[in-house]
Chains A and B, each alone.
Chain A
């Protein structure tokens, strides 16, 4: 359709050029007046025809979007499963989902607000139980002295020392994270000084009454 239109436009320009040259032709050939009239009539008809064609082109619907894009053969063909990515992602998602489901089934605390302080400390209790049941009164005295000298003086509930480890129960601090951290640092310094050691282990927990428990071990 467009090619025909372009051909017609070219023809019109050709006729227009011929008309422009008519005076000179008339000078050279006065008998050609009838031919000129014929040509002018043809130009008029062709002009009308071109106008109709232009109207037809304008009235055509817009081409579909797909034909505006480059041919599909030009676009790179992507193999989405070239590296088995789909399978690997699916496997990871499945494993993560299973793990999460298992954690929920095990009653794992997923939110800090819902979590209860853990009762006891299995590793600390195992270390305490492994020691011979011989009371270490020296260590008991040191622990009592250390707690009495702490700045906020947490209430000491119970102290039991065996061999190289003490099980200490004291009132839980409820003064926020920062206070607890500074309390912990003060306790560590006082214990190192009290036992006169350079190496120390603490295993933390809580008892059923909500008191803090610390298993203090001098390796």
Chain B
């Protein structure tokens, strides 16, 4: 997988992102984070295959799917949170990826779980955009876990904190 093949599909995805960033009539804070802050869920399994590389969390394995966990920034007291993530597929065949967004309360109990599964076309990227998450408590936080299929990379995390009018 070359860097060029990973970055190539970014442009069409920006259209979807710009839709997220415009919620009329609401104050909002959008934050974009580089995907290389994600870490493998199973560190031992991913020791040789997961690489944090130039803004990407890459799965260099040609066979194994590896789950990575990403912290997300959110503004305090937001009433809704929108989350998007771009995953690029460096393989010459389409591959499936699943992202799970968990809303957790301060003592780490699951409050809500949002699941999104999509097939990423060969050598292209997919913008995983979750349904808006109504935060039940200002101290609740969200965590994102995504499966990275072989030769794929997670490059961009987007959070949009939406406040009431």
> Which residues of A line the B interface, CB within 8 A?
109, 112, 115, 117-118, 121-124, 177, 184, 188, 191-192, 198-204, 219
Interface residues of B in 135-152 (CB under 8 A from A): 136
A109 engages B110 (CB within 8 Å): no
Q: List 25 A-B contacts (CB under 8 A).
A: A109-B107, A112-B108, A118-B105, A122-B136, A123-B136, A177-B108, A188-B100, A188-B113, A191-B115, A192-B117, A198-B117, A199-B131, A200-B114, A201-B112, A201-B113, A201-B115, A201-B131, A202-B110, A202-B113, A202-B114, A202-B115, A203-B111, A203-B112, A204-B109, A204-B112
Known contacts being A123-B134, A188-B100, is A201 close to B105, with CB within 8 Å?
A: no
Binary per-residue interface labels of chain B (83-119) against chain A in the complex, 1 for a CB within 8 Å, 0 otherwise: 0000000000000001010000111111111111110
**CB-defined contacts of B110 to chain A, threshold 8 Å:** 184, 202, 204
Nearest chain A CB to B141 CB, angstrom units: 15
Most A C-beta atoms less than 10 A away, residue of B98, B106, B113 = B113
Q: Interface size on B (CB < 8 Å)?
A: 19
B113 engages A192 (CB within 8 Å): no
**CB-defined contacts of B117 to chain A, threshold 8 Å:** 192, 198-199
**CB-defined contacts of A198 to chain B, threshold 8 Å:** 116-118
Nearest chain B CB to A16 CB, angstrom units: 82
Complex: chain A residue closest to B106, CB-CB: A109
**CB-defined contacts of A122 to chain B, threshold 8 Å:** 136
**CB-defined contacts of B107 to chain A, threshold 8 Å:** 109, 112, 115
Nearest chain B CB to A167 CB, angstrom units: 14
Apart from A121-B112, A177-B108, A192-B115, list 13 A-B contacts with CB within 8 A: A109-B106, A109-B107, A123-B134, A192-B98, A199-B115, A199-B116, A199-B131, A201-B112, A201-B113, A202-B112, A202-B113, A202-B114, A203-B111
**CB-defined contacts of A123 to chain B, threshold 8 Å:** 112, 134, 136
**CB-defined contacts of A200 to chain B, threshold 8 Å:** 114-115
Nearest chain A CB to B84 CB, angstrom units: 14
Nearest chain B CB to A87 CB, angstrom units: 23
B113 engages A204 (CB within 8 Å): yes
Nearest chain A CB to B56 CB, angstrom units: 24
Once bound together, how far apart are the Cα atoms of A201 and B113, in whole Å? 6
B100 engages A121 (CB within 8 Å): no
**CB-defined contacts of A199 to chain B, threshold 8 Å:** 115-117, 131
Interface residues of B in 36-61 (CB under 8 A from A): none
Once bound together, how far apart are the Cα atoms of A50 and B117, in whole Å? 100
Once bound together, how far apart are the Cα atoms of A112 and B109, in whole Å? 10
A121 engages B116 (CB within 8 Å): no
8 cross-chain pairs, A with B, having the tightest CB-CB distances, nearest first:
A202-B113, A200-B115, A112-B107, A198-B117, A204-B110, A203-B112, A115-B107, A201-B114
Nearest chain A CB to B20 CB, angstrom units: 16
